[in-house]
């Protein structure tokens, strides 16, 4: 369970949950045929961009660290 709390502290779990929640709301409205507010579309775009932006940044920093390990 330590792994879950470590990820939660790094906000990986929380940002993933918020992203899935926003996309779920958007899909629900689309499937039921209800109008999708423009504000919800904008929020979903921002949340998804943040989610994948943080993933790309963390992957890049991990790759950079693996290429150039610290000299001891």
* pLDDT for res 54: 76
**In-domain check, residue 57:** yes
**In-domain check, residue 1:** no
Phi-psi region for residue 34, left (φ > 0), alpha (ψ -120 to 50) or beta? beta
**In-domain check, residue 24:** yes
**In-domain check, residue 28:** yes
Q: Quick: pLDDT tens for 9-67.
A: 666 777 888 889 999 999 999 999 999 999 999 999 999 888 888 766 665 555 666 66
Residue 53: domain span: 6-64
Q: How far apart are CA 14 and CA 27, in angstroms?
A: 20
**In-domain check, residue 71:** no
What total of structural domains would you count in the chain? 1
**In-domain check, residue 72:** no
**In-domain check, residue 48:** yes
């Amino acid at each position: 369970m330590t792994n879950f709390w470590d990820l939660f502290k790094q906000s990986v779990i929380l940002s993933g949950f918020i992203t899935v929640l926003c996309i779920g709301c958007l899909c629900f409205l689309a499937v039921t045929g209800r109008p999708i507010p423009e504000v919800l579309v904008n929020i979903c775009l921002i949340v998804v961009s943040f989610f994948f932006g943080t993933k790309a940044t963390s992957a890049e920093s991990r790759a950079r660290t693996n290429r150039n390990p610290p000299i001891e």
